[in-house]
Amino acid sequence: MVVLCLACAHRPSSPGCSAGETLCWDFEEGRLPAGWTPHRDEFSGRLVVDDTRAHGGRYSLHASQLVGGREGEQGGPKKTVRFELPGDFGPVLWGRVFVYTTPARPASHAGLFNARYPRPGSDDGAFQALDWYEVATYQEKYMALWHPPEPPGFPEWVQVSDTPLVLDQWVCLEWLFDAANGEAPEAAEPRVWLDGVELAWPRKFVFSDPPTDTPPKREKARSFTVLETGVFLYQGLSVPTDWWLDDLAVGGQRVGCSPR
């Protein structure tokens, strides 16, 4: 009992979201955490903090019953929230989130997290003026991207893994968006880990409409300014699908999947 009471005094106690990380959200407020605001809301479904499933504690961010549009056609359900980073965050963003997906793997591009920054030499901080990195799934596999400002968000650099989206269990997704990249002329390609194992990218290509073979120049960053999470389908989704996101964290150094 003594041990239990000592532990009770130390909130937050959610595993994987302990002190020392730059920014961390365990959703244990039971509602949208301070600083996060609703952003996209297209087609059917809801994005809410609720207690239907949690990785840690009681609550998580739940994208519930997303559906709308048709596979192979542009336009799909998008339910997201956004967060303005502190001004001194910097140009290197490590992140981590636990994700649970059910009941089926979408074929369409399903974004889960992105981070954005002003273009070189630009002071325009408007959301639609920002370069951005993204972690997503596509054709039932994990995917990572670099985009110019959205709209239109392309030509975009696309990396598709050979690792199928994991269903019906929690997984830890980690990413590194290195938009400083030392002395290299461009920002680094995104890197992603699944439960601590770095994903490989057997398919890399440029997507644009109309098509092009010329890859975008991945512009370097002074500092990331905005985060967006939730679920955003760029093509249709005919199977109502649920995602839960919990213990989201970002920082200038690797956060990892384990509690400290």
54-62, 93-101, 207-215, 237-245 -> range binding Ca ion (CB under 5 A):
54-62
User: 41-45 long-range CB contacts below 8 Å, 24 or more apart?
Assistant: 41/78, 41/79, 42/68, 42/75, 42/76, 42/77, 42/78, 42/79, 43/67, 43/68, 43/69, 43/75, 43/76, 43/77, 43/78, 43/233, 43/237, 44/68, 44/77, 44/240, 45/77, 45/79, 45/240
251 counts as binding Ca ion under rule CB under 5 A:
no
**Any contact of residue 246 with Ca ion (CB under 5 A)?**
yes
Binds Ca ion by CB under 5 A, chosen from 24, 49, 54, 136:
54
Phi, psi at 52, each rounded to 5°: -80, -25
Q: How many residues does the chain have?
A: 260
Instruction: Compute the least distance from the CB of residue 79 to Ca ion, in Å.
Output: 18
Number of residues that bind Ca ion (CB under 5 A): 8
Task: Output 59 or 100, the one with its CB closest to Ca ion.
Answer: 59
Q: Pairing between strand 171-178 and 226-233?
A: unpaired
Task: State which of residues 16, 33, 45, 56 lies at the interface with Ca ion (CB under 5 A).
Answer: 56
Which CB atom, from 97 or from 160, has the smaller least distance to Ca ion? 97
Write out the binding residues for Ca ion, residues 1-30 only, by CB under 5 A: 26-27
Report the nearest approach of Ca ion to the CB of residue 109 (Å): 27
CB of 84 to Ca ion, least distance (A): 22
Q: Is 99 in the site for Ca ion (CB under 5 A)?
A: no
Looking at the Cβ atoms of 16 and 155, the one nearer to Ca ion is: 16
**Omega into 155 within 30° of 0, i.e. cis?**
yes
Answer whether 206's CB lies under 8 Å from 183's CB: no
**Among 57, 76, 77, 118, interactor with Ca ion by CB under 5 A:** 57
How many C-beta neighbours within 10 Å does residue 200 have? Answer: 11
- Closer to Ca ion at the Cβ: 60 or 114? 60
Query: Which spans of this chain sit near Ca ion (rule: CB under 5 A)?
Result: 26-27, 54, 56-57, 59-60, 246
